[in-house]
Amino acid sequence: MGASRNSRVVAALAFGLGLCVAAGGTGAGELPLPAGFAAAARQSYAEAQAAYQRAPTEVTAAWQLARACFDQAEFATNKTERASLAEQGIAVCQRALAHATNSAPLHYYLGMNLGQLARTRTLGAFKLVSQMEREFIQAGDLDRQFDHAGPDRNLGLLYRDAPAFGSIGNRSKAREHLARAVQLAPRYPENRLNLVESCLKWGESREAGRELAALEAIWPAARTNLTGAAWAASWADWEPRRQRLKDRIKLPPEAAERPSRQR
């Protein structure tokens, strides 16, 4: 499935909270993933289940099944199915964490599946927010580089899109974590896409232009390096987001040639 799951975790949360994710991203107006990706997710889920059944005490088998649960939940046809998959991923992580408390991937995918569960709730989603925050913080403390700076990326999205009143929404924290994700994994498109979209959401058009120029600079290499079936879903998500940003932001020639932020 690739890494597009990371941008979608906040969409799941936003749906559960009744929010509208603005400035592009993966909110309610996103294009659905092509149908072929559903078959790939089902296959990965079946393979991860089989591997876990063969070795239920192996940490790697546990977090890979939790990751597959999240991905498969993206293609659920109703809330009951989505909640069941999310709860399976949550339970797998919690069981494994009982004897592997220092596993960054387990904390990370526990947070991801909590996000999917939030997608099936209304008011109940608010209770899950602090749990997601806690798991992503723990994952980052253990391994900030995991999944191309995934813990900071997801924390940034959580703080950006959760309500400020009665929840954890905080623009300063969002900016800190989204920028840190770029610093830790500067050549990973998802991190830079999130930062450009956030700048637009906050009305910072000049900063958005600078970040878009930096995104354009790393795009060709990313297209060369992140290839194959594992990345197909990511590119299906990233390409239209990039195009929407380019439609909204006109880069001056000098910015396109000399991006100011080559982190």
Q: Are residues 45 and 115 in the same domain?
A: yes
* Number of structural domains the chain divides into: 2
Residue 178 included in any domain: no
Does the pLDDT at position 12 exceed 70? no
Residue 65 included in any domain: yes
Among 169, 167, 143, residue whose Cα is nearest residue 156: 169
* Tens digits of residue pLDDT in 205-232: 999 999 999 999 999 999 999 999 889 9
Q: Are residues 43 and 162 in the same domain?
A: yes
Tell me which residue range forms the domain holding 86: 1-169
Q: Are residues 165 and 190 in the same domain?
A: no
Q: At which of 114, 143, 169 does a domain end?
A: 169
- End-to-end CA distance of the chain: give it in Å, rounded: 27
Residue 177 included in any domain: no
Residue 180 included in any domain: no
Q: Are residues 144 and 191 in the same domain?
A: no
What's the pTM? 0.87
Residue 179 included in any domain: no
Rounded Cα–Cα distance for residues 123 and 73 (Å)? 20
* Tens digits of residue pLDDT in 70-82: 999 989 999 999 9
Provide the pLDDT for residue 146.
97
Angle between helices 5-17 and 124-142 (to 10 degrees): 150
Q: Are residues 227 and 119 in the same domain?
A: no
Rounded Cα–Cα distance for residues 180 and 174 (Å)? 10
Q: Are 107 and 97 in contact (CB under 8 A)?
A: yes
Q: Are residues 72 and 134 in the same domain?
A: yes
Does the pLDDT at position 159 exceed 90? yes
